[in-house]
Amino acid sequence: MVKQHLDSFSYFVNTGVKKIVRANDRIVSGIDPSIFLSHAEKTIMEKNDIIIGRMPVMLQSCFCVLHGKDLTELSRLGECPLDPGGYFIVKGT
């Protein structure tokens, strides 16, 4: 069940947001819109990008520092190795 949430979040950040912005004629052409993902290890911002908003990172998504870690690594990081992710932590909650 969680995989669908993770895939949907990844699609929204990588593709959906750009399609939404480009569909709006008032946006300046030639600029690649981006969302700054708070808590992300690396950003999707580049030289020509504009930050159009901020959003939390979904746990275990491809933007999360826990993505791809095996059970041993998750335990070492203090995370529950059985937690599948697919949710957000905002302001510690």
* Number of folded domains that form the chain: 1
Q: Give a yes or no: residue 21 inside a domain.
A: yes
Partnered with residue 69 across adjacent β-strands are none
Q: Give a yes or no: residue 93 inside a domain.
A: no
Q: Could you read off the pLDDT of 37-77 as tens digits, one per residue? A: 554 444 464 455 666 677 889 999 988 999 999 999 999 99
pTM score: 0.69
Average pLDDT over residues 80-88: 93
Q: Give a yes or no: residue 22 inside a domain.
A: yes
Range of the domain at 16: 2-76
- Model pLDDT, residue 36: 55
- Model pLDDT, residue 13: 86
Distances (CA, A) of 69 to 2, 11, 62, 84: 16, 21, 11, 12
Q: Give a yes or no: residue 83 inside a domain.
A: no
